[in-house]
Structure 1
Amino acid sequence: MRLPKDFIMGGATAAYQCEGESKAHGKGRVAWDDYLEKQGWFSPDPASDFYHKYPVDLDLCKQFGVNGIRISIAWSRIFPTGEGEVNQEGVDFYHAMFKKCRENGVEPFITLHHFDTPNELHKNGDFLNPHTIDCYERYAKFCFEEFKDDIRYWFTFNEIWPVSSGQYITGTFPPGEKYDVVKTVESMHNMMVAHARAVIAFEEGGYEGQIGIIHSLETKYPYDEKKPGDVLAAEREDALTNQFLLDATFLGYYSENTLKHINFLYELENKTFAPKEEDMELLKKAAACNDYLGINYYQSHFVQEYNGESQIHHNGTGAKGTSVYRLKGISEHMFKEGIDRTDWDWLIYPEGLYDQIMRIKKQYPNYKAIYITENGMGYKDDFKDSTVDDEPRIDYIKRHLQWIAKAIEGGANVKGYFVWSLMDMFSWSNGYNKRYGLFYIDFETQERYPKKSAYWYKEVSETKEV
């Protein structure tokens, strides 16, 4: 199968996961700093030392056909407390790095928020606090103006559902709360309002370039299609994790079907979902300004009806078969016979990505373009003879690219693919034992080594054949 000639073959990164220097050069603290220090598990320093090594990494991009790179700006490297005085050293770092992207022929796609709200704002409620929305808008406006000559492609947020649910449902993100669906919905809604304010500011500022948002979409299938309870569970979980955010992005309001499920979940807590009218007006205005959607896709879920007490165990070590996900009134995740999964219990199901792409094309026909902004396989790489023979990763990426090509043949406007990740990096809840990169990092020496997948990716980039 073939991909379009102008299809971006990119690599994805995130500031906190690759830069290192997490509390140096004027950078302010983020909630993850306190959280990781308290747990005593992992340190984000030096990560991949992208702060110093970005010329090496961008040269590798040039050598291996990676013509686009997802980079996030660390909010607290620009505004150490999230607001107030600007850290000029941080601004200069990003200018220099963006310049190096251009020199290497690598298009930078910039994410403004990738799980790293400055700590002073996070500890006061993060996006549950309207003040954080105000600060985010000012930060976004600053970046649009400061980097207007450097950047043509912007994303406001990365993965609103995972960050909100990680904070308030699974407890895997700071502040580590669990099973609070109401807080999760409120956080998601407020982040969408912040997105809307940034998109409107970009539009009204008359900046050249384009802007959109990244959602992590996981297709939900009933475990038993013949059981009405399982069908309802899949629909309800989809409404919470996917449709709520897609409605806000493309419709500018929450559809009747979405509200039916959200209100049911609120009623379980004797509460009512009642967004402010002025917020909904912002969502409506922004819906017409989105230039594209970024989709992060790793897996799908097969779910069955569940009404017991919530119980979640996150497999953060690669101990296959240990994951548990049961959310009261919503669903239980099941392993489907015949579908393989990674050591971290993530189902390998590329058809789910195709289904999401085609779902957007059909359900939200006003969408303009799609980028697959993250997709890849976490793997326990075996480093031998200065490389990694990662055939399972090649197979994973190849199968997903083939289903993307099928979606394009079916009329979907998919413009590019960014493998997660460009190089091995720090992982939020897995530390350094879960590797995704095309390039192996020796975290002791910070040397880079191309994996077998890097050579395969280069060939695909050059031929567009999968």
Structure 2
Amino acid sequence: MGLKKDFLWGSATASYQCEGAVNVGGRVPSMWDTYLHDGGYETGDVASDFYHHYKEDIKMMADGGQNTLRLSLAWPRIIKNIKGEINEEGVEFYRDVLKTCQQYGITPFVTIYHWDLPQYLEEKGGWLNEETCYAFEQYAKVCFEKFGDLIEYWVTFNEPKWFTFNGYMVGNYPPGHHSAQEMIIAAYHVMYASALGVRAFKEGHYKGMIGIVHSFGPVDGIDDTLATKIAMRFADNYANNWILDTAAKGEIPFDLLCVLSQNYDLSCIKNEHLPIIKNYTVDFLGLNYYSRVWVKPYSGGETQLVVNNSGKDFKGESKIVIKGWFEQIMNNPDAIYTEWDVEIYPQGLQKGLKQVWEKYHLPIFITENGVGVREDITVDQVEDDYRISFMNDHISAIMNAVDAGVDVRGYYAWSTFDLYSWKNGVEKRYGLVGIDFDDKELKRKPKKSYYWYKSIAESNGEKIQRKDW
């Protein structure tokens, strides 16, 4: 079958992780600004300074054979305050970015919300407050109106699981809380807000398609026993179904609601919301794939959610145990892991794509895929053969899935260039292009992978060394 001729070959960024210029152009503080500054962490105040380098960066993408850029809009750069006043300077910045994409033949793939909630909304309760859902709806409408003539692919939210779980339960993202009850409320409100955004898009009859991006972890079990299969269902609800079922089918998994209702207050789920969730589903699914979720039956102990944000010094310390549900295996001696405890398992993507296609029958884009490492950027060119190997094997997995009938329409390497990796700062590098963060000019240096990816994109995948699992 092979990839379609109009397959999108690109790379991805996110506003807070790359733009910098946090006090420029009328931008107001986000929850991340406040959280990082108050906590004394490294910040994204400058990041990759995409705000001042976007023309150079977009040209470099085009020169590298890429035909699409996944980017996000910063809510704090577009809406000034709780009243919803529009920052026209911010709007003009994004229109310039989008027009530059157009100039270089780069198709923009635009996320409305990639985690940077305005601080003025966080102070009103953030995603624990239903009013934030309606604020998002209004913000989305502004985006559709201001940029709709320049965008064909829209995304409501990036990775609802990560920012709600880490922000409200793990506590290592803003607002830094540790409450399963709050996490449930925030997660539900995000999915309701996403449906409101889809409704605004479809009722406004804007051009193009709208979808959601999910941090996809296809679930594998340690064996074929009934206990493991039950653990797998719990894990799939935890990792995938509450986002994908809700966004694609308009249905929150009922067995998940039954279990949660035994211990938690679900009054945030209101009857008047459900028809909106049911009737306004997405046109496509964006899947960010880094690894699978490999599980075994729960064996005992309290819920533990430990995420490695510190690299090899803490390698092997990640732990996910959901009391009564499942345990995730994160220390398999036969597996290969990154410094940040992420298993490298491309065959999981091939299998997972088939599962998602069979379940939802919606077009799929791989909206993030990459490997984060520490790199010496002072050399003339980073020889990142490990990144080339990683991308080759994952693109091969995609092509295998396409050959099996899965409708995959694009691939986005994470990331376009080195950027600020949340609480890992700029130490954890994912970029096809290196950035010397110690240099005042933030000099861009294409890595070996940049040139390799150019050959892959320009051949529409024909130069991939195919693997079969």
Q: Same fold (TM over 0.5)?
A: yes
1:297 to 278, 284, 289: 289
Q: Indicate if the aligned counterparts of 2:2 and 2:402 stay in contact, CA closer than 8 A.
A: no
Tell me if 1:434 matches 2:428: yes
Letter in 2 for 1:294: G
- Residue by residue over 1:299-357, the C-alpha shift from the partner in whole angstroms, topping out at 9 and shown as x without a partner, is 11222233311233321111222222223223322223322111100011112222221
TM-score by length of 2: 0.93
Alpha-carbon deviation of 1:273?
A: 6.5
1:191-230 alignment to 2 at 5 Å?
191-222=190-221, 224-230=222-228
Alpha-carbon deviation of 1:209?
A: 1.5
**Partner Cα distance (2:376, 2:158) in 1:** 30
Q: Check 1:2–1:428 CA distance in 2 against 1; reply closer, same or farther (3 A cut).
A: same
1:308 to 301, 305, 311: 301
Q: Number of aligned pairs?
A: 456
Q: Check 1:236–1:273 CA distance in 2 against 1; reply closer, same or farther (3 A cut).
A: farther
Tell me if 1:340 matches 2:336: yes
**Partner Cα distance (1:227, 1:16) in 2:** 44
**Quick check: 205-214 or 154-163, which moved more?**
205-214
1:404-415 alignment to 2 at 5 Å?
404-415=398-409
Q: Could you say which residue in structure 2 is the equivalent of 1:234?
A: 232
Q: Indicate if the aligned counterparts of 2:377 and 2:435 stay in contact, CA closer than 8 A.
A: no
Q: Indicate if the aligned counterparts of 1:262 and 1:273 stay in contact, CA closer than 8 A.
A: no
- Residue by residue over 1:77-120, the C-alpha shift from the partner in whole angstroms, topping out at 9 and shown as x without a partner, is 01123542211111111111111111111111110000011111
Q: Could you say which residue in structure 1 is the equivalent of 2:72?
A: 72
**Partner Cα distance (1:176, 1:420) in 2:** 26
Q: Indicate if the aligned counterparts of 1:382 and 1:389 stay in contact, CA closer than 8 A.
A: no
Q: Could you say which residue in structure 2 is the equivalent of 1:378?
A: 372
**Partner Cα distance (2:311, 2:29) in 1:** 29
Q: Could you say which residue in structure 2 is the equivalent of 1:188?
A: 187
Q: Indicate if the aligned counterparts of 2:347 and 2:397 stay in contact, CA closer than 8 A.
A: yes
**Partner Cα distance (1:82, 1:382) in 2:** 43
Q: Could you say which residue in structure 2 is the equivalent of 1:317?
A: 310
Q: Indicate if the aligned counterparts of 1:83 and 1:135 stay in contact, CA closer than 8 A.
A: no
Q: Check 1:450–1:101 CA distance in 2 against 1; reply closer, same or farther (3 A cut).
A: same
**Partner Cα distance (2:376, 2:350) in 1:** 31
Q: Indicate if the aligned counterparts of 1:214 and 1:296 stay in contact, CA closer than 8 A.
A: yes
Q: Check 1:62–1:272 CA distance in 2 against 1; reply closer, same or farther (3 A cut).
A: closer
Tell me if 1:117 matches 2:117: yes
Secondary structure at 1:325 match in 2: strand
- Residue by residue over 1:217-256, the C-alpha shift from the partner in whole angstroms, topping out at 9 and shown as x without a partner, is 112222x3145433322210211220111111121123xx
Q: Check 1:348–1:74 CA distance in 2 against 1; reply closer, same or farther (3 A cut).
A: same
Letter in 1 for 2:341: D
TM-score by length of 1: 0.94
Letter in 1 for 2:86: V
Secondary structure at 2:395 match in 1: helix
Alpha-carbon deviation of 1:270?
A: 5.0
Tell me if 1:330 matches 2:329: no
2:247 to 246, 249, 265: 249
1:10-21 alignment to 2 at 5 Å?
10-21=10-21
**Partner Cα distance (1:242, 1:385) in 2:** 40
Secondary structure at 2:149 match in 1: coil
Alpha-carbon deviation of 1:30?
A: 0.9
Q: Indicate if the aligned counterparts of 2:295 and 2:326 stay in contact, CA closer than 8 A.
A: yes
Structure 1 residue ranges without an equivalent (≥5): none
Q: Indicate if the aligned counterparts of 1:29 and 1:81 stay in contact, CA closer than 8 A.
A: no
**Partner Cα distance (1:236, 1:187) in 2:** 20
> Percent sequence identity over matched residues?
39
- Residue by residue over 1:246-295, the C-alpha shift from the partner in whole angstroms, topping out at 9 and shown as x without a partner, is 111121123xxx3223432342x3545772222110011112xx221111
Letter in 1 for 2:80: P
1:122-137 alignment to 2 at 5 Å?
122-137=122-137
Q: Indicate if the aligned counterparts of 1:109 and 1:151 stay in contact, CA closer than 8 A.
A: yes
**Partner Cα distance (2:446, 2:403) in 1:** 32
Q: Could you say which residue in structure 1 is the equivalent of 2:97?
A: 97
Letter in 1 for 2:324: G
Letter in 2 for 1:6: D
Q: Could you say which residue in structure 1 is the equivalent of 2:467?
A: none
Q: Check 1:85–1:384 CA distance in 2 against 1; reply closer, same or farther (3 A cut).
A: closer
Structure 2 residue ranges without an equivalent (≥5): 465-469
**Partner Cα distance (1:233, 1:459) in 2:** 42
Letter in 2 for 1:454: Y
Q: Could you say which residue in structure 1 is the equivalent of 2:4?
A: 4
Alpha-carbon deviation of 1:205?
A: 1.1
Letter in 2 for 1:376: G
**Partner Cα distance (1:439, 1:83) in 2:** 39
Alpha-carbon deviation of 1:426?
A: 0.3
Q: Could you say which residue in structure 2 is the equivalent of 1:457?
A: 453
**Quick check: 57-66 or 228-237, which moved more?**
228-237
Tell me if 1:38 matches 2:32: no
